[in-house]
Amino acid sequence: MSHSLLVPCPHCHTLNRVPAERLQDGGQCGRCKAPLMSGTPLALGAQHFDVHAQQGDLPLLVDFWAPWCGPCRSMAPAFEAAAASLEPRVRLAKVNTEEEQRLAARFGIRSIPTLVLIHKGRELARQSGALGQEQIVRWAQANLPGAR
């Protein structure tokens, strides 16, 4: 019998059951019919954050950033490129700390950019400061469940 994963839709945030061996195929949401994998980070706010961070089976790599932050803006293209490398194994998301101050406070974000890797509601790793694409990918892969 096939093992399946719960994958939140990046568009409507509905949980979709996807067979693990079919995850590479991407698939589409059963509700809104949009692709489940886009290869780009999604913007998350408090309203849908927990669906991806706690209920979904994919690890979630979150970039806590702000529009006024120079290092955040310089890291944005690298984070975007890392999404294409890490999906479908990891979902990447961005949280604007100016708009989502409670979410930033919940995670104790003291400096930006800060990357937080979360799986099933548990923080696995944290990294502050701007990184390049290869550094982001290596850091995330090294901290994924089962990587140690």
Catalytic member of 9, 12, 32, 72: 72
Q: Is 69 noted as a catalytic residue in this protein?
A: yes
Q: Is 12 noted as a catalytic residue in this protein?
A: no
Give the DSSP H/E element, type plus range, for residue 113: none
Would you say how long the chain is, in residues? 148
| Structure tokens belonging to residue 52 | 């991806």
Catalytic member of 12, 29, 32, 69: 69
Q: Which contacts of 67-70 are long-range, i.e. CB under 8 A and separated by 24 or more positions? A: 67/96, 67/98, 68/98, 69/112, 69/113
- What amino acid positions are annotated as catalytic residues? 69, 72
